[in-house]
Structure 1
Amino acid sequence: MTDDLDLHLWYSKRKDIQKYVQIIHFPQAPAQHAAYLQCLRHDAANETFVALIDIDEFVVLKKHDNIVDFMEEHCSEDCGQISLNWNTLTVSNETNYRPVPTLMRNIHSYQIWGTIKVIVRPSYVDTDRFDWGHSVRLKKGNWVDTTGKVIPRPNNWKKQANNGGPSDVGLLYHYRFRSPGEFYHKNCIRGDVLHSRGEQPKCTINRPGTRVDQGMYGGNLDTLAWELLKKMVPKYAIFEKYTNATMKTLYLDYPYRF
């Protein structure tokens, strides 16, 4: 969902994805919770599963070729939501936006967090008591992880966590930084999506080294998400064959702004 029309202009040119991707103008702020709730109540109310994830998050499956097989194995009829733990990716020496896939740019993992996001059955979600996007209140079924463990949902900050959760079946790769330039733009110009438009509670321009930017640098080499993306969509390999200098020829709208 987007609060301006730039993305719509791009989308209007992409006839190839319009069968699969829908863009909704969403000027409401704070945006994230309201957008998730609209999805659950209206846009995907009749779907079997919905992933409550953001544009900077990518599901990485380690033992399944597709999300359907994964859900069939790990989310039975008693499962109302299944959680995946965050794996935070660092900036991998990037400094600003480049018009190549984020999964190719950011290839270093900082650490696996206790923080989770979920894939839910919309019909099981208690949307009248929706209070958080990382996990939801259920009117039916259980919250489970990929081991099958049932997780009680507490009424405190731990409702967004599964500390020590499994990592062998799947993770949610979180590209929260991408580059220092993009992270600055997100937090110090655009503003935080969990607050009113323009509010900047996470702006770190005068507070380097705070918890907000923990995990921005360093990390261990981790190309798994990029390799899986190329396997699923082989044409992405073109970005490994061409430099930024040739992007203008391949994509007429280059350079894009972030």
Structure 2
Amino acid sequence: MYQSSKQSNLRNHSWLAFFDGDEFLVLKKHKNIVDLLEATAPEGSNVGAVGINWLFFGTSGRDFYQPLPVTKRFQHREEDVNQHTKSIVRITVGGPCMDPHQFILKDGAVKVDTAGKHFSGPFNINGPSDVAVLHHYYWKSQAEWAQKFATPRNDNGELRQKRFPFYPTESSAGQVLDTSAWEFLKKAVPKYNIYDDRVFDTW
């Protein structure tokens, strides 16, 4: 899936962000992703990929799906940055996809984090979160978690392995309140402010 996406966009774009549908990029110091890339991987540099660390968001104590934006419903996360990264890859030097977390880079290109540190592989231990971070809404609500494991994966058609408890635990609710993704969305698309009306708190 990742490799076919890269090929289909080869002629139309310079970069591709290989993020999943439950991952949301939150920018802390830039207005948009173009500004982020110009600062982190300027044209003419040997930077071929920018790795962004995950922040895991939990259930926020919610049991069921609600027809509200994900970034509004789930605003509690783990305390520490997760070591896993996802990449924004410069198409001209991006090679085969090893897995969703890492790509082979060509022509001596390197992968960096938003602090400019070189690293390779899927992990960036103690990676930065002050410039950009990828919010990963892995759990969602209890009901959505159950549905996730009852539904075959999109990439291989197989059911997911239950590496975590089927029923979300107290720790999976999230320990730290973090509204940054929600605030970022409202600033970018002001119409979403309507969901802060107290009437939606009863849904």
Could you state the TM-score of these two structures normalised by the residue count of structure 2?
A: 0.88
Offset, 1:78: 1.3
Change in CA separation of 1:166 and 1:244 when aligned onto 2, cut-off 3 Å: closer
- The reply on whether 1:114 has 2:83 as its aligned counterpart is yes
Whether the 8 Å contact between 1:89 and 1:173 is mirrored in structure 2 is yes
Aligned-partner SS, 2:8: helix
What is the letter of the counterpart of residue 4 of structure 2?
Q
- The reply on whether 1:41 has 2:7 as its aligned counterpart is yes
Residue 69 of structure 1: aligned partner: 35
Give matches, 1:1-258, under 5 Å. 35-76=1-42, 77-110=45-78, 111-127=80-96, 130-140=97-107, 141-151=109-119, 153=120, 159-187=121-149, 189-193=150-154, 196-202=156-162, 216-241=172-197, 243=199
- The runs of at least 4 aligned residues of structure 1 exceeding 4 Å deviation read 244-247
Over the aligned positions, Cα root-mean-square deviation in angstroms equals 2.4
What is the letter of the counterpart of residue 185 of structure 2?
L
What is the letter of the counterpart of residue 190 of structure 1?
T
CA–CA distance in structure 1, aligned partners of residues 171 and 85 of structure 2: 16
Offset, 1:233: 0.6
CA displacement 1:127-183 (0-9 Å, x = unmatched): 3xx2112121001311111111111x3xxxxx2100011111111010011111111
Whether the 8 Å contact between 2:81 and 2:127 is mirrored in structure 1 is no
What is the letter of the counterpart of residue 39 of structure 2?
E
Whether the 8 Å contact between 1:90 and 1:106 is mirrored in structure 2 is yes
What is the letter of the counterpart of residue 81 of structure 1?
A
Change in CA separation of 1:60 and 1:193 when aligned onto 2, cut-off 3 Å: same
Change in CA separation of 1:218 and 1:242 when aligned onto 2, cut-off 3 Å: closer
Offset, 1:54: 0.5
Aligned-partner SS, 1:182: helix
Offset, 1:242: 6.6
CA–CA distance in structure 2, aligned partners of residues 218 and 120 of structure 1: 30
Structure ranking higher on relative contact order (CA contacts 8 Å, 6+ apart): 2
What is the letter of the counterpart of residue 94 of structure 1?
R
CA displacement 1:225-245 (0-9 Å, x = unmatched): 100000001111122227459
CA–CA distance in structure 2, aligned partners of residues 50 and 39 of structure 1: 9
Could you state the TM-score of these two structures normalised by the residue count of structure 1?
A: 0.71
| Long gaps (5+) in structure 1 | 1-34, 154-158, 248-258
Between Structure 1 and Structure 2, the one with more strand by share is: 2
Aligned length: 199
Offset, 1:218: 3.2
Identity %: 34
Offset, 1:43: 3.0
Whether the 8 Å contact between 2:146 and 2:167 is mirrored in structure 1 is no
CA–CA distance in structure 1, aligned partners of residues 65 and 111 of structure 2: 37
| Long gaps (5+) in structure 2 | none
Offset, 1:75: 1.2
Which has the greater radius of gyration?
1
CA displacement 1:97-148 (0-9 Å, x = unmatched): 1000000000011131111101011111113xx2112121001311111111
What is the letter of the counterpart of residue 117 of structure 1?
K
